[in-house]
């Protein structure tokens, strides 16, 4: 049932000028740098990526690295922290999904935000558990007196993006850093919590950018509550409903690359309405189940790199393994694993009826 909470809606709208101002700070060169950090999390050690692609003059050092079991299928979640005394900066990185089984688990066990998260609203319990399991090293690094003045950047891809969001929000909420000391860049981030959490996050971490490539399906999971009253007709995609407290809803600021991510490709700063779910950006898409392979391919590729493989081989962009071709239409089995169109539509994912 949709919430009748005009105060929350007004809070979201009131925060919009601040968010638009922060969005002007999006820097594609920075995004590419942070993608290197996010990709490095897929390797056994982030050190090869750090040594291969980051300027040695910044003297990045690994502070900690932690891996732990994060779900009932004994899948592993992981993160690491690096610092640069030259830049006086700490980077907190979380690893994304490594297996298709875990991708399915994330998609279908996270249909509704149900867990209260440090007074900020409801979030997905799977994400919250994984984030809490990995937060101790983050707390220790940020509470260390010798690094107390260092700014911090959170980043991650896929599941790692969700964990980065929760860690950034918790860092601000618990006063480990001020909002002005925190920045976040994520890639292919799923919906982490409800609209109340999104509003809290927007106020706590205004300089946050959710980078989305083309038709990446994961940012549309779990499905939001669709606003059929203010939408068009049933055959078109519908905007997300910012008055519903029971379903997933994105925080700001989406940066959408609608066509490509090679040098010179255009992107959109998605500061329109609904706030956090700008219907002029990726939310307008409808998903044809015949093209599931392409949607997953888009999720795995950012800035023309297959993120998982790129990180696993030490961030060598010239290796042909990181530039695999786009797939053809999906097989029947792939469509079945993803979920048939009617089921996906029921849970708030725009599905083409072609």
What percentage of the chain carries pLDDT values higher than 70?
Answer: 78
pLDDT of residue 80: 98
Domain chopping of the chain, boundaries: 6-346
Report pLDDT digits (tens) over 16-30: 444 444 555 899 999
Q: How confident is the model at residue 82 (pLDDT cuts 50, 70, 90)?
A: very high
pLDDT of residue 350: 56
Report pLDDT digits (tens) over 145-187: 999 999 999 999 999 999 999 999 999 999 999 999 999 999 9
Q: How confident is the model at residue 9 (pLDDT cuts 50, 70, 90)?
A: very low
Interatomic CA distance for residues 309 and 13, integer angstroms: 40
Nearest one of 62, 22, 32, 17 to 254, comparing CA atoms: 22
Distances from the Cα of 200 to the Cαs of 112, 122, 130, 176, in angstroms?
18, 11, 20, 16
Q: How confident is the model at residue 237 (pLDDT cuts 50, 70, 90)?
A: confident
pLDDT of residue 287: 84
pLDDT of residue 101: 44
Report pLDDT digits (tens) over 99-124: 664 455 455 445 678 899 999 999 99
pLDDT of residue 331: 54
Interatomic CA distance for residues 258 and 224, integer angstroms: 21
What percentage of the chain carries pLDDT values higher than 90?
Answer: 67
Nearest one of 216, 261, 202 to 28, comparing CA atoms: 261
If you search the block for the tokens 């106020």, which residue do you land on?
203
64-78, 141-155, 201-215, 327-341, range with the lowest pLDDT = 327-341
Report pLDDT digits (tens) over 34-74: 999 999 999 999 999 999 999 999 999 999 999 998 876 67
Report pLDDT digits (tens) over 271-306: 999 999 999 999 999 888 788 889 889 999 999 999
Report pLDDT digits (tens) over 302-329: 999 999 999 999 999 999 999 999 887 6
Nearest one of 240, 269, 285, 280 to 12, comparing CA atoms: 240
Regarding predicted confidence, which is higher, 198 or 18?
Answer: 198
Class of domain 6-346: alpha beta
Nearest one of 50, 91, 17, 308 to 188, comparing CA atoms: 308
pLDDT of residue 229: 59
pLDDT of residue 107: 55
pLDDT of residue 148: 96
Of 91-105, 225-239, 241-255, where does the model show the most confidence? 241-255
User: What are the residue numbers of the active site?
Assistant: 158, 216, 299
- What does the pLDDT average to over 205-210? 98
pLDDT of residue 14: 42
pLDDT of residue 126: 86
C-beta of residue 187 within 8 angstroms of C-beta of residue 161: yes
pLDDT of residue 330: 54
Mean pLDDT computed over every residue of the chain: 85
Query: pTM of the prediction?
Result: 0.87
Q: Is the pLDDT of residue 342 over 90?
A: no
């Amino acid at each position: 049932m949709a919430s009748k909470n005009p105060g929350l809606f007004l809070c979201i709208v009131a925060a919009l000028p601040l968010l638009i101002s922060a969005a002007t700070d999006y820097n594609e060169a920075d995004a590419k740098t942070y993608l290197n950090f996010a990709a490095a999390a897929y390797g056994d050690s982030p050190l090869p990526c750090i040594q291969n692609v980051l300027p040695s003059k910044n003297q990045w050092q690994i502070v900690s690295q932690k891996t732990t079991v994060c779900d009932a299928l004994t899948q592993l979640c992981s993160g690491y922290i690096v610092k640069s005394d030259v830049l006086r900066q700490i980077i907190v990185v979380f690893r994304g999904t490594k297996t298709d089984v875990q991708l399915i688990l994330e998609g279908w066990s996270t249909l509704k935000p149900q867990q209260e998260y440090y007074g900020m609203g409801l979030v997905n319990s799977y994400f919250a558990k994984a984030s809490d399991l990995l937060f101790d090293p983050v707390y220790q690094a940020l509470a260390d007196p010798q690094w107390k003045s260092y700014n911090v950047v959170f980043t991650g891809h896929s599941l790692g993006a969700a964990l980065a969001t929760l860690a950034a929000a918790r860092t601000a909420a618990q006063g480990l850093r001020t909002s002005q000391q925190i920045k976040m860049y994520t890639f292919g981030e799923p919906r982490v919590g409800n609209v109340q959490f999104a509003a809290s996050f927007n106020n706590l971490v205004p300089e946050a950018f959710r980078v989305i490539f083309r038709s990446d399906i994961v940012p549309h999971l779990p499905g939001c509550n669709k606003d059929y009253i203010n939408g068009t007709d049933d055959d078109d995609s519908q905007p997300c409903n910012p008055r519903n407290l029971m379903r997933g809803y994105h925080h700001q600021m989406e940066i959408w690359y609608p066509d490509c991510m090679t040098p010179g490709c255009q992107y959109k700063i998605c500061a329109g309405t609904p706030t956090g779910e700008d219907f002029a950006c990726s939310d307008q898409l409808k998903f044809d189940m015949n093209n599931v392979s392409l949607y997953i391919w888009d999720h795995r590729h950012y800035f023309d790199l297959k993120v998982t493989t790129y990180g696993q081989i030490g961030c060598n962009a010239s290796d042909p393994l990181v530039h695999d071709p786009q797939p053809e239409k999906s097989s029947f089995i792939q469509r079945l694993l993803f979920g048939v169109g009617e089921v996906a539509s029921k849970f708030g994912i725009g599905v083409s009826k072609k």
